[in-house]
Amino acid sequence: MSKEECMEALSKHANIKPVITSTVWKELEKENREFFEAYTKNRAERGSGMATREKIQNMLSNSTTIRDRKD
C-alpha cells in the first residue's frame, strides 16, 4: 500500500485526516529509513512485474481474438 493509498484508506475507514497520516508516515520514514528503502524498492519491482503481466495478458487476449476471427 502506498502512502497515498494508506491516507485514503485511513480517511475513509477510520476518519483520520490525510495530513495526520502524512505526518506520521514522514516520521516513520525518518526513523526507519532502511525499512522504507526496502519497501519502496519492493513496490517498484512488484509494479514493473504487474505491468509485464498486464502486457502478456493483453497479448494473449489479442492473439485469441485474432485466432477466433480466422475460424
Is it the case that residue 33 has pLDDT exceeding 70?
yes
Whole-number pLDDT of residue 62: 74
Residue where the block lists cell 525518518: 30
Whole-number pLDDT of residue 35: 93
pLDDT bracket for residue 64 (50, 70, 90): low
Give the pLDDT mean for 10-14.
93
Q: Is the dihedral of CA 8, 11, 29, 23 positive or negative?
A: positive
Give the pLDDT mean for 19-44.
93
Of 8-12, 14-18, 32-36, 65-69, give the lowest mean pLDDT range. Answer: 65-69
The runs of H, that is alpha helices, within 15-32 are 18-31
